Amino acid sequence: METIVFIERDTLRAELRPPAFEHRWLDYGATRPEEVLERLTEATVAVVNKLPLRADVLAELPRLRLIAVAATGTDNIDLEFCRGRGIEVSNVTGYARHTLPEHVLMLALALRRNLFGYREDVRAGLWQTARQFCLHTREIHDLHGSTFGVVGHGALGRGVERLARAFGARVLVAERKGERAAREGRTPFAEVLSRSDVLSLHVPLNPETRGLVGRDEIALMKPTAVLINCARGGAVDEAALAEALREGRIAGAGVDVLSNEPPARGNPLLSLDLPNLIVTPHVAWASREAQQALADQLIENIEDFVLNSLESGV
C-alpha cells in the first residue's frame, strides 16, 4: 500500500480527490525544513511544492519512489540524485496558462496607465482641487500599438503573447540570451530589451537564467519601459532593479516573485514605496480555477505512476 505524504498542504486551496488505488494519505499544512525528514520517513510518495528536497535528505528516505511536485518548477528538487536513486519526479504543467497571463496583463495595464499613481493623487485630494474636470498629473500609455517583449515562450509565454496581441500590441519573442543567431520567429535578446515597452519574463530558474536581467540588461531598456517578472525572483537582479526604479531609469516594474520567499529577511524591492512598483505575493498562478486544475493533475500524476508500477510489477 502506498503512503502519500503532502508536507505543504496549505499551499494548495483546492479539493484533492482520493487516488484510485489503495493508499494511506497524510497531510501537513506546513513543514519546516528540519521536519521534512521525519515526516517523509514512511512515505513512498512525497507531495511538495516549494520545500527543498536535497541529496542529504533524500539519501535517508529509502522507501521514497515518487516526488509529486504540486507546481511546475522543480528547482527545489535534487534531480540528479533522484535519477541515480531511481526516484521518479513529476510536476504539474499548463494549469496556469490562463490565470498567469491575465495577471501579467493586469500588471502591464496598471503600470502603463499609472493606476496606482492616480489612486494616490485622488486620495491626496488633488482631483478635488483641480481647475478642470480631469486630473492629468501623470503620463498614460496604451498597450495598443506598444511593443511587448516576451522572454520565455512556453505555455505561459504563449498565453501572454495571445493576450498582448488581443490588445493590439506588437509582440517580440526573445531568443535565448547569448545566442549568436535568432531562430525564425525570434528576436535577439538584447534587441527585445531595447525595443520593448513592456518586458515580461517567463523562464524557469536554472544556471542559465539566474540573474538573466541585471544592471547591464536594464541599461538597454527604454526609460519609458516596464519590467514584469512572474517567473522566478532569481531571474532578476533585484538590487539593480530597485536602483533603476529609484533613479527613474525605467518607468516601472511589476513582480509576483522574489528571490527568497517568503521574504522574511527583507528584499531591496520591498524597501521602496513607489506607485510605479507593484509587488504581489506569488499569486499569479493562484486563481480558484487554476488551483483546481493543478490539484486534478497532481492526483493524475500520482495515479499514473502507481498504476504503471503495478502493471510493470515494480
- Torsions phi, psi of 119, nearest 5? -60, -40
In contact, 278 and 255? CB cutoff 8 Å: yes
Give residue 180's pLDDT.
87
C-alpha cell at 225: 519601459
pLDDT band at 133 (very low <50, low <70, confident <90, very high): very high
* 3-state secondary structure (DSSP) of residue 216: helix
Question: pLDDT at residue 310 above 80?
Answer: no
Amino acid at 241: L
Give the percent of the chain with pLDDT over 70.
Answer: 98
Cis amide bond preceding 262, omega within 30: yes
In contact, 48 and 11? CB cutoff 8 Å: no
pTM: 0.89
In contact, 44 and 63? CB cutoff 8 Å: yes
Which are the catalytic amino acids?
232, 261, 282
Q: What is the mean pLDDT of the chain?
A: 96
Q: Under 8 Å CB-to-CB from 58, ≥6 apart: which residues?
A: 64, 78, 81, 82, 85, 87
Give residue 174's pLDDT.
98
Question: pLDDT at residue 313 above 80?
Answer: no
CA distances from 284 to 95, 104, 117, 235, 258 (A): 12, 8, 22, 16, 13
Rounded to 10 deg, the angle between the 99-112 and 155-166 helix axes is 50
pLDDT band at 27 (very low <50, low <70, confident <90, very high): very high
d(CA 239, CA 276): 16
pLDDT band at 314 (very low <50, low <70, confident <90, very high): low
pLDDT of 230-270, one tens digit each?
999 999 999 999 999 999 999 999 999 999 999 989 999 99
Place of cell 533613479: 247
Question: pLDDT at residue 311 above 70?
Answer: no
Give residue 309's pLDDT.
76
pLDDT of 39-61, one tens digit each?
999 999 999 999 999 999 999 99
Give residue 264's pLDDT.
87
- Residue 166's CB is within 10 A of a number of other CB atoms, namely 10
C-alpha cell at 87: 526516484
pLDDT of 262-302, one tens digit each?
998 999 999 999 999 999 999 999 999 999 999 999 999 99
Question: pLDDT at residue 113 above 90?
Answer: yes
pLDDT band at 111 (very low <50, low <70, confident <90, very high): very high
> Measured on CA atoms in the order 279, 281, 287, 291, is the torsion positive or negative?
positive
pLDDT of 179-211, one tens digit each?
989 999 999 999 999 999 999 999 998 999 999
What is the layout of strands, in order, in the sheet containing 277-279? 170-173, 147-151, 198-201, 226-229, 252-255, 277-279
pLDDT of 78-91, one tens digit each?
999 999 999 999 99
Q: β-strand 45-48 against 2-6: which pairing, if any?
A: parallel
